[in-house]
Amino acid sequence: MLLLFGVFAVLFYRDGSTGYRKKNEIFYLHKTFEQASNKFLEAKAKGPLTPAEWKMYAAKQTVDFPDDRAVLPSALELPMPWPAILQDYAKMETQWNLLWREYTKDRGLDATTPEEPYDAQKIKEQWIVFGGSALLSLVAAFFLIRTVRRSISVDGEALTTQLGQRIPFADLKSLDLRKWETKGLAFIEFDGPSGKGTVRIDGLTYGGFKKENDEPAERLIHHLRERFSGEIIEYTTVPEGESSDDPATPAA
C-alpha cells in the first residue's frame, strides 16, 4: 500500500506542478504549427510570396497562449515568437506535421499532443489528489514501520505476543485454527496470572508462508502446537462414506 500510494503521490505531484502545464505548452505550440501552415498556404494563394516576405510576416507573429499563466510552465517567457522553423520559407513548403515532429525532436518535447488543454481546475484537482495520496502514504508508512518492528515468538515456556506480553503456556486455554488454512489467521484465548484476552496471529504479517523462507508462520504454529496443552479448534474433513450435513465439521 505504501508503494501504491507513493507512486500515486509522485504522479499527481508531477502532473500538478509541471506535467499538465508542459502539456498545455505543447498543445498551443502544436496548434500554432497548424495555423502557420494555413497562413502560409493562404498567402501563396493570393499571389507570389517571397522568402523575405514570409520571414518578415512570421517574425512578427507570436504563439497564441491563454492569458492565465497558471496553466503554463512558470519558466515560459511570453510573448513567445513563432519558432524559427516556421519563419523558414523552404521549411514551410513541407507538411506542417512533419515540421512539428522535427521541432519536437530538436527540443526534446513529446510530439504527442493532448486532445484539449488542461484548465486551472484540472490542475488544482491534481494537487488535491496528490495531498490525499501523500497523506495515505504517511498512514501506510506508519503502519508498515509499526508492523515491521513487531514480532511473535514461542520458546520452551511461553508465547511472546507482538505487544511484548509474555504468556506462559499454562495460561493458554484455546487455539482456534479454523481460519488458518484459508486466511492465515489464528486466535489464542488465554486466562491466568498473565491476564485474560485474545491473541491474534496473522501469518501473512508475521513471517509469511513462502517456502523459500522456510515458512516462518507455519513453523510458529507448529512450535506452538507442540507445547500447547489447551483446546485446539480446527476443521476436519469427514471420512468418505460417512454422512454429514456439513462436509467440514469442527474438531477439538
- Each domain of the chain, given as residue ranges in start order, spans 2-121, 153-251
Cα→Cα distances 115→32, 52, 109, 174, 220, Å: 15, 35, 16, 64, 57
For the entire predicted model, the pTM comes to 0.65
Each residue's pLDDT, cut to its tens digit, for the chain (252 residues) gives 889 999 999 999 999 999 999 999 999 999 999 999 999 999 999 888 999 999 999 999 999 999 999 999 999 999 999 999 999 999 999 999 999 999 999 999 999 999 999 999 999 999 999 999 999 999 999 888 776 666 777 787 888 887 778 888 888 889 898 988 888 888 989 998 888 889 888 877 666 666 666 677 888 888 888 888 888 888 766 556 555 555 444 555
Q: Which amino acid is at 250?
A: P
Q: Please give the Cα distance from 207 to 227 (Å, whole number).
A: 20
Dihedral of the alpha carbons of 151, 154, 158, 164, in degrees to the nearest 10: -10
